[in-house]
């Protein structure tokens, strides 16, 4: 790649420039986590020039969203609300086998071959869990002599084991890649406080670790504006509807929903589960649900954020679930939590530790005793036992808390200060 000439933030022509590389970044129209777009938009409002580099091969749909021909390897540029997206090609894959690694490596090559940006960035962020994309971001930052920030959205390779993998050759190879990224980063941006504590225990200077958690654009939804038709709810004797919106993968532990659904159906408890999203486990989950005759479980395709918020406000509660893994007690910051709270609906959560603490602080939901199906059923019964007024209060409290602590405006102000401080401190 021919890198642009380095420049300093003292350039009087415009504000600072950020290049944010995350293979899995998406726009609200794509369905999925929109952290990078929404925070990028907040930075633009604060005078930044922001470019997000991502792949248009959607990580959940396993399909291209911008190019119609997989043989087209050209970069595709798009600008939304002042945030520039550069969509790069990455190889297609379907299952979680060696082709997934090829997808990662092909995106790394696309970043390395990317033609020069219109102007040099003042700072470059490379985002996990795609460690090879982060190494490409590091190389670019070093070539133009600007700070490199390593954003740790998920701890890798540790999350590989938490999702049911093992510590084989791939694990140790990725561990070496991660160690190099931690070593070379000017700062390490974490989304969960527990991730920072964990890294500090691994010998990383805590002064190099900054916390910028996940959040939500609270302006997307007005709680109380329920539209039952958004979920196709039965008009009479409607059951309690619990909605799950997100990835259907090994780490999400959605098998517990099927077990809980069977228990609730056996006791004739009117509860309905709506699972929205996609992922490698979805087909098997649908097969099991069909074999067991679980008519109280519905699977929906991913939808744009504008449609998702209508579904959320129409539900009685949101489901926040992960499989039983020690890592998830301290190293995750699920977007779902903030999406549900912003919609003003109670949250039923089986994630212990830090996430449970956030939910307790919000007073916006019900926590399970553990990650098992019986505990989920018990939590649902506790939610159903509340009066309508108490459930509404829970929704209001959760919404108020997320507005105060995890709105994109609040986090945009935080990120703006964090990045400007890094630029100023750079040698």
pLDDT, tens only, 360-402:
999 999 999 999 999 999 999 999 999 999 999 999 999 999 9
pLDDT at 63: 86
Q: What is the DSSP letter of 124?
A: E
CATH class, 218-405 region: alpha beta
pLDDT in tens, 110-153: 998 886 666 689 999 999 988 999 999 999 999 999 999 999 99
The fraction of the chain above a pLDDT of 70, given in percent, is: 92
- C-alpha to C-alpha distances, 353 to 195, 360, 420, nearest whole angstrom: 12, 11, 32
Work out the average pLDDT over 87-111: 86
Residues facing 152 on adjacent strands? 190
Contact between residue 16 and residue 122 where contact means Cβ atoms under 8 Å apart: yes
Q: Is the pTM of this model over 0.75?
A: yes
Q: Indicate the fold that domain 17-215+407-425 takes in CATH.
A: Rossmann fold (3.40.50)
Q: Which H or E element spans position 257?
A: helix 255-266
pLDDT at 233: 54
Based on C-alpha coordinates, what's the Rg of the chain? 22
Q: Kindly list the domain boundaries of the chain, sorted by start residue.
A: 17-215+407-425, 218-405
Domain 17-215+407-425 identical in fold to domain 218-405: yes
The per-residue pLDDT of the chain, averaged, comes to 90
pLDDT in tens, 367-378: 999 999 999 999
Contact between residue 41 and residue 178 where contact means Cβ atoms under 8 Å apart: no
């Amino acid at each position: 790649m021919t890198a642009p000439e380095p420049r300093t933030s003292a350039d009087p022509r415009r504000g600072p420039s950020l290049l944010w590389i995350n293979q899995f970044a998406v726009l609200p129209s794509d369905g999925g986590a929109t952290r990078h777009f929404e925070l990028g938009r907040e930075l633009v409002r604060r005078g930044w020039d922001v470019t997000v580099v991502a792949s248009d091969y959607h990580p959940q749909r396993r399909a291209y969203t911008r190019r119609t021909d997989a043989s087209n390897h050209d970069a595709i540029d798009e600008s939304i609300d002042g945030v520039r997206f550069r969509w790069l090609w990455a190889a297609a894959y379907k299952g979680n086998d060696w082709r997934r690694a090829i997808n990662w490596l092909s995106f790394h090559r696309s970043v390395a071959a990317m033609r020069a940006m219109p102007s040099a960035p003042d700072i470059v962020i490379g985002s996990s869990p795609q460690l090879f994309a982060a190494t490409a971001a590091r190389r670019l930052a070093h070539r133009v002599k600007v700070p490199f920030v390593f954003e740790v959205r998920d701890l890798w390779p540790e999350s590989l084991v938490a999702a049911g993998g093992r510590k084989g050759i791939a694990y140790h190879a990725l561990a070496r890649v991660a160690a190099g990224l931690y070593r070379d980063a000017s700062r390490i941006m974490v989304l969960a406080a527990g991730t920072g504590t964990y890294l500090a225990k691994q010998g990383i200077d805590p002064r190099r670790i900054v916390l910028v958690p996940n959040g939500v654009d609270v302006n997307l939804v007005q709680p109380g504006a329920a539209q039952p038709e958004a979920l196709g709810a039965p008009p009479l004797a409607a059951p309690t509807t619990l909605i799950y919106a997100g990835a259907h993968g090994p780490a999400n532990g959605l098998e517990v929903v099927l077990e809980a659904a069977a228990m609730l159906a056996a006791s004739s408890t009117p509860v309905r589960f709506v699972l929205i999203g996609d992922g490698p486990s979805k087909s098997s989950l649908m097969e099991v649900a069909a074999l067991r005759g679980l008519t109280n479980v519905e699977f929906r395709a991913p939808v744009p954020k504008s449609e998702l918020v209508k579904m959320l406000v129409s539900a009685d509660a949101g489901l926040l679930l992960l499989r039983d893994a020690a890592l998830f007690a301290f190293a995750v910051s699920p977007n779902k939590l903030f999406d549900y709270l912003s919609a003003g609906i109670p949250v039923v959560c089986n994630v212990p530790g830090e996430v449970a603490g956030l939910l307790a602080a919000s007073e916006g939901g019900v926590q399970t005793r553990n990650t098992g199906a019986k505990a989920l059923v018990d939590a649902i019964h506790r939610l159903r036992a509340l009066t309508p007024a108490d459930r509404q209060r829970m929704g209001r409290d959760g919404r108020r808390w997320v507005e105060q602590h995890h709105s994109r405006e609040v986090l945009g102000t935080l990120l703006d200060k964090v990045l400007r401080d890094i630029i100023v401190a750079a040698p």
